[in-house]
């Protein structure tokens, strides 16, 4: 039995649009079983996220988070995704953690944008200047090749540094102006308080909320939630887990019933925009089932590359 070892070198053979199609197909399969475990040693953390989808297989995504690594110039987070065969349970591959995380996160948001953003969208605003922001520029460029990009970050030099990496991308300092003229807004921050205000948003905009992942975090205000048609990538990983939805629900601004659809509703035709003037919003909450779908896509691309 051979176990494939798949690293960043496969990235040149991956395709953003093909990944979104793989994610759509994955959501036609039975609902995934998901489990998370955490182990702690003082400030260090071991996180394991697992998923089993009947007909696709099993993935266990394990990562260590060691804050002390920063002082030594080492990566804070390190890990690997282990893929197992659906029928036999045999291990199939070890896939680079950072590769899976990048493509899963951006691919998830790109799938939502392909379904919810207006096809003629030409002005894309990226809020944040970290690794996720960079991957969103790459992903959106695949689906909206004629779009122009602007980047805003609290630290102007970080936005400028990101813009320099991609031809035609421009750093901006006026967030309100940039948001009020954007067709697509992707928030990729670690903010615990809203950075986007609903009064800025023009009709027809699509908002892609990525950064918040804890109950105390959110990136848009209550007015944004009131004005938007709300979608999520997965109800199970968002509604009761992330402040973006938990806080406005608790305050009575919205209800859980205001979440129109998640990716498991795509096949029924519910995950879609109703009009050109509609403001759409999708919360990307991740999930181990998406790690499994993405890892399986990467393994298939790796095997195709190697004949």
Other Cβ atoms less than 10 A from the Cβ of 48: the count is 16
**What are phi and psi for residue 6, nearest 5 degrees?**
-120, 120
List the single range of 35-44, 157-166, 183-192, 294-303 with lowest mean pLDDT: 35-44
Task: Name beta bridge partners: 40.
Answer: 45
Average pLDDT over residues 189-214: 96
Are residue 80 and residue 156 in the same domain, yes or no? no
- Answer left, alpha or beta for residue 265, where phi above 0 means left and psi between -120 and 50 means alpha: alpha
Does the pLDDT at position 306 exceed 90? no
The residue range of the domain holding 85 is: 4-100+289-305
Tokens of 188: 């990729």
Are residue 143 and residue 238 in the same domain, yes or no? yes
Helical residues (DSSP H) of 150-233, grouped into ranges: 156-165, 175-180, 222-227
- CA-to-CA distance for 271 and 288, rounded, in angstroms? 21
Specify the pairing of strand 170-171 against strand 184-187: unpaired
Are residue 157 and residue 224 in the same domain, yes or no? yes
CATH of the domain at 230: 3.40.50.720
Q: How many folded domains does the chain comprise?
A: 2
Are residue 68 and residue 146 in the same domain, yes or no? no
Are residue 75 and residue 133 in the same domain, yes or no? no
Instruction: Give, in order, the Cα–Cα distances in Å from 42 to each of 45, 62, 72, 103, 180.
Output: 8, 18, 18, 31, 44
Does the pLDDT at position 1 exceed 80? no
- CA-to-CA distance for 233 and 40, rounded, in angstroms? 29
Are residue 233 and residue 294 in the same domain, yes or no? no
Are residue 154 and residue 255 in the same domain, yes or no? yes
Q: What are 52-71's pLDDT values in tens digits? A: 999 999 999 999 989 899 88
Task: Name beta bridge partners: 127.
Answer: 152, 187
Does the pLDDT at position 307 exceed 80? no
Please give the pLDDT value at position 12: 94
Please give the pLDDT value at position 77: 87
Q: Give yes or no for a contact between 7 and 99, defined as CB atoms under 8 angstroms apart.
A: yes
Q: What are 221-239's pLDDT values in tens digits? A: 999 999 999 999 999 999 9
Are residue 157 and residue 277 in the same domain, yes or no? yes
pTM of the complete model beyond 0.85:
yes
Please give the pLDDT value at position 38: 86
Q: What is the sign of the dihedral through the CA atoms of 6, 8, 14 and 16?
A: positive
């Amino acid at each position: 039995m051979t176990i494939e070892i798949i690293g960043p070198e496969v990235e040149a053979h991956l395709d953003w649009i093909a990944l979104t199609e793989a994610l759509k197909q994955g959501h036609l399969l039975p609902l995934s079983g998901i489990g998370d475990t955490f182990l702690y040693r003082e400030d260090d953390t071991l996180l394991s996220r697992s998923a089993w989808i009947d007909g696709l297989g099993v993935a266990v995504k394990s990562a260590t988070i060691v804050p002390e690594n920063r002082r030594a110039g080492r990566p804070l987070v390190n890990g690997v995704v282990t893929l197992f065969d659906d029928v036999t349970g045999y291990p199939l591959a070890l896939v680079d953690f950072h590769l899976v995380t990048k493509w899963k996160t951006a691919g998830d948001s790109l799938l939502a944008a392909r379904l919810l953003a207006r096809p003629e969208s030409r002005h894309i605003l990226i809020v944040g200047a970290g690794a996720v922001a960079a991957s969103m520029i790459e992903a959106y460029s695949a689906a909206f090749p004629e779009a122009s990009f602007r980047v805003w970050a609290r630290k102007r030099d970080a936005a400028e540094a990101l813009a320099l990496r991609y031809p035609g991308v421009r750093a901006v300092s006026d967030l309100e102006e940039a948001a009020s003229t954007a067709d697509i807004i992707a928030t990729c921050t670690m903010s615990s308080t809203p950075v986007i205000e609903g009064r800025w948003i023009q009709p027809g905009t699509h908002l892609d909320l990525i950064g918040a992942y804890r109950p105390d975090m959110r990136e848009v205000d209550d007015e944004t939630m009131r004005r938007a048609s709300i979608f999520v990538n997965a109800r199970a990983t968002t509604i009761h887990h992330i402040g973006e939805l938990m806080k406005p629900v608790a305050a009575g601004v919205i209800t859980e019933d205001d979440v129109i659809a998640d990716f498991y509703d795509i096949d029924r035709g519910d995950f879609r925009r109703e009009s050109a003037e509609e403001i759409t919003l999708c919360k990307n909450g991740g999930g181990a089932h998406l790690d499994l779908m993405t890892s399986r896509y990467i393994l298939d691309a790796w095997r195709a590359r190697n004949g």
